[in-house]
Amino acid sequence: MGMPIELNTMIVTKGNETREEENIFRLAKDGYRLYPIDIPIDVRKTKQSDTSGTAVIQKVEWTGEKTIITYELLSLNSTN
């Protein structure tokens, strides 16, 4: 049967992202997820929170029932 695939239209980090380079981050999510690549999308800490910035996803990997995305942060909104 396999796992369902979820379509995501924003990056929800829940604070789990790791910095690879200055503006490049990696994030692992449970399950298999589709993300738009090469177009700017919102980055949020939670689905309900305000947008914390804009990023472009460069790479999506599916492995071991996880999705790992590598994205470049284009802009950061100041959070209070």
- pLDDT tens digits, one per residue of 26-75: 999 999 999 999 999 999 999 999 999 999 999 999 999 999 999 999 99
Cβ-contact 18, 28 below 8 angstroms: no
Cβ-contact 43, 51 below 8 angstroms: yes
CA-to-CA separations, 32 to 25, 45, 68, 79, in angstroms, rounded: 19, 19, 9, 30
pTM confidence score: 0.88
More confident residue, 6 or 61: 61
More confident residue, 68 or 1: 68
pLDDT (average), residues 13-36: 96
pLDDT of res. 80: 47
Neighbours of 3 (CB within 10 A): 10
Phi first, then psi, for residue 69 (nearest 5°) are -115, 145
Q: Which domains does the chain have, with CATH numbers?
A: 6-76 (2.40.240.20)
